[in-house]
């Protein structure tokens, strides 16, 4: 199995941090030298491991923002 290459282009922010030190983050990332996308996933403190996540294009992120803005909390 080939290694997955990734680069964090821009750190957007941390959504949460667990007791074990893992952080759930939003970043702009490039996977396998592709066009950067917005990414939400958990990372280990040393960044050696990562959890499953979701990647969003700019258009998808803007749509998500609109949907979240319409939610009553």
Query: Which of 2.60.40.10, 3.40.50.1000, 3.10.580.10, 2.30.31.70 is the CATH number of 6-69?
Result: 2.30.31.70
pLDDT at 3: 86
Location of structure tokens 């290694």: 3
Task: Say whether pLDDT at 16 is over 90.
Answer: yes
| Tens-digit pLDDT profile for residues 23-36 | 999 999 999 999 99
Nearest to 6 by CA among 32, 42, 38: 32
E strands, the chain, in order:
6-17, 23-31, 37-43, 54-56
pLDDT at 1 over 80: no
With tokens 């759930």, the residue in question is: 24
- Helix, strand or coil, per DSSP, at residue 60: helix
Q: Is the pLDDT of residue 37 over 90?
A: yes
- Model confidence at 4, pLDDT cuts 50, 70, 90, reads confident
């Amino acid at each position: 199995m080939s290694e997955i290459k990734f680069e964090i282009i821009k750190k957007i922010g941390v959504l949460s941090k667990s007791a074990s030190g893992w952080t759930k983050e939003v970043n702009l990332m490039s996977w396998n030298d592709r066009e950067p996308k917005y990414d939400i996933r958990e990372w280990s403190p040393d960044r050696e491991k990562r959890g499953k996540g979701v990647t969003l294009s700019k258009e998808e992120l803007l749509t998500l923002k609109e949907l979240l803005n319409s939610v009553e909390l």
